Amino acid sequence: MEGRGLRGGFTPYAPPLHTSKPLRRTAFNRLFAVVYFSAVLALLYRHVRNLFLYPTTSFLSFSITLSLFISDLVLAFMWATAQAYRVSPIRRREFPENLKQIIKDEDFPGIDVFICTADPYKEPPMNVVNTALSLMAYDYPADKISVYVSDDGGSALTLFAFMEAAKFASHWLPFCREHNIMERSPPVYFETNHPSSTPHFEKIKVINTV
């Protein structure tokens, strides 16, 4: 099964955006669901029979039976609502690189992202900065994505970190786009691709946030 188009931009010869393939365990999952469902029905029937067909004269015994019935009813409901993805499991493969072959940059929807922070000691400014840099480096039209930072604490430390991040972003964002970097969070990229530079990068982060 393939997903080939977008609303308003569908073309029968467009490359697929995703493919899906049913898993082999589908038949086993459905058989198990039928057996389990039968057991649940038998259990609930037993509770109903004990409550109404063979009622007990003891209030304590009745209360215990009623509590067990309600508990099993809730658990049965929770189990039933979790079966939707188990009775028809699939393996999906996405092709985001085909998106720009189907839709033009000017047709991408605008996205607003809000980053909230309050305490620079509980939420280190560099963590907030890295989140903003990762979002700004998304493989998405630059004029279609806006990143807003809300600092409820009004911290000068957070402000200074973002001032320094703005300078770094002028180099980092073009570097990511030019080299098609997949890991666009600075610490993740340096730890993954340049382990030896990680201590130096950590030192830079400390200096910039003091």
For 105-164, the pLDDT digits (tens) are 888 899 999 999 999 989 899 899 999 998 888 888 888 999 999 999 899 999 999 999
Q: How many CA atoms lie within 13 A of 20 on its CB side?
A: 8
Residue 206 token pair? 């400390």
H helix or E strand, kind and range, residue 2: strand 2-3
Measured between alpha carbons, how far is 140 from 143 in angstroms, rounded to an integer? 9
Give the position of tokens 């409901």.
77
With bands split at pLDDT 50, 70 and 90, how would you rate the model's confidence at 201?
low
Q: How far apart are CA 208 and CA 210, in angstroms?
A: 6
Whether the CB-CB separation of 59 and 67 falls below 8 Å is answered with no
Q: Give the span between the Cα atoms of 134 and 145, in whole angstroms.
A: 12
> Does the pTM of the predicted model rise above 0.75?
no
Helices assigned H by DSSP within the chain: 26-48, 59-81, 125-136, 156-179, 186-193, 198-209
What is the tens place of the pLDDT at every residue in 31-68?
999 999 999 999 999 988 888 877 766 788 888 888 99
| Distant-in-sequence, close-in-space partners of 165: CB < 8 Å, separation ≥ 6 | 129, 132, 133
Strand partners, 90: 22
Query: Beta strand pairing status for 18-22 and 111-117?
Result: unpaired
Give the 3-state secondary structure of residue 42.
helix
